Chains A and B, each alone.
Chain A
Amino acid sequence: MLNDDKRTPDNGDADDLSRRRFFVKLGTGSLALAGVGTALFAYQYLSPNVLYEASPVVNAGKPDQYVPDSVTLDPATGIYLVRATEGFYALSAVCTHLGCLTAWKPELNLIACPCHGSKFRRDGTKIEGPAPKPLPWLRVWLSDDGDLMVDRSTTVAERQYVRV
């Protein structure tokens, strides 16, 4: 307002220029805001709110179907259910190297990965191979119906056996 009062014919152009600059800034600012909004919008849209994936919790059945001192692979869920003398425990069968499904080799008494040759003992500890970490122990508990339940999304410390 003060500028208006002091305006002379000479700085009229300068005033015009600053108004133009103001609107250029307003325009580019709006575009930037719209760009950020679009990015957020796209991120929200691209992240699914509901997934049709298998539940991480698996029902492994009654404990007595597992013979003592055995390792059982369920390829569909990717877990080993091991019945040791101390009790039951579950291992992830997914190799910690690059995610291949490992296999139990009873004749060699070890777990082997077919992709890159990693080898593990039946307690998940690593014998050799490119795998950086041992196979993790998964949370196991008994349901009210007496079924063995495994939560594939929760790892527990080693040597946590479930006694039946």
Chain B
Amino acid sequence: MKPISAYFEELRTTRAWRSVFRSGPGGTRLHSALVVQQNIFLHLFATKARKRVMSFRATWYLGALSFGTFLILVVTGVLLMLYYHPSAPQAYADMKDLQFVVSSGVFLRNLHRWSAHAMVFLVFAHMFKVFYRGAYRPPREFNWVIGVILLLTTLLLSYTGYLLPWDQLAYWAVTVGSNIASAVPLFGQDIRYLLLGGHQVNANALLRFYVLHCVVLPIAAVLLIAVHFWRIRKDGGLYVPEAAAGENTLAPAGAAAEDAGAATRGGTP
């Protein structure tokens, strides 16, 4: 019996597959590079990376884990939206329905909540790791700035999501939070008025926070994440401190890469 990979290789030779993925079958290094380069999602990343950069100890995978929690939040969030009406007082009843009536609703709601907490933690941990390794230094200063904006986006997503259950905790947290926003010099009251769509936390505020939480901020996050990933490639790959001379040299493309790769592996302790 053929292994499953053989069926996959066969699939890659079909005309339908070739019409979608232009790089066809093959297993050479050049081919692997083309697969990455010609895919709209993968082309954000470098076609090759040093093995050491891909190891757990280089990054603790904190950026990838942050992105993973973001994906979980998008999927669970879209599913929760199917049962949630952003209107007062229906929002509270919908939240209770998700907990007690909808099949697996409590699971998805809790998954959304825990992933949100985990994302805030992971994004901070990612920032500290980047900071203490000095990975923010030139030529990566701009990606650090995007990272800071992404941190703020994460916190705003967390904050706007807080109001949506429309319970006492949500109501008073947003009352306090919007009063903090009003402490901004000169424009404070205007910011609060625009944020809440009024002077009180009521139906307008709920709708505004819902739109921010489900439309504006996720779109901003997706665009910034795309730029963040793309800048890694443009800034010369993930930053890893020099361990030994010669280890950070990039392997050239094509057949010569075989030798260079072997040399790098040999040089890693």
Chain A contact residues, CB within 8 Å of chain B: 21, 24-25, 28, 41-42, 44-50
Contacts and interface: CB of A to CB of B under 8 A. Distances in A.
Contacts of A46: 82
B104 A44 contact: yes
Interface string B90-133: 00000001000111110010000000000000000000000000
The 6 closest A-B pairs by CB, nearest first: A44-B103, A45-B104, A50-B101, A45-B103, A49-B101, A28-B4
B239 to A, nearest CB: 33
A45 B105 contact: yes
5 contacts: A28-B4, A41-B104, A44-B104, A45-B102, A50-B97
A45 B82 CA distance: 10
Interface of B: 3-5, 79, 82-83, 97, 101-105, 108
Given A24-B5, A45-B103, A49-B102, 17 more contacts: A21-B3, A24-B3, A24-B4, A28-B4, A41-B104, A44-B103, A44-B104, A45-B79, A45-B102, A45-B104, A45-B108, A46-B82, A48-B83, A48-B102, A49-B101, A49-B103, A50-B101
Contacts of A21: 3
B222 to A, nearest CB: 23
Contacts of A28: 4
A44 B106 CA distance: 13
Contacts of A45: 79, 102-105, 108
A28 B5 CA distance: 11
A50 to B, nearest CB: 5
In this complex, the member of A24, A42, A48 whose beta carbon has the largest number of chain B beta carbons within 10 angstroms is A48
A4 B115 CA distance: 47
Nearest to A25: B4
Nearest to A41: B104
Contacts of A25: 4
Contacts of B101: 49-50
A24 B2 CA distance: 12
A28 B8 CA distance: 13
Contacts of A24: 3-5
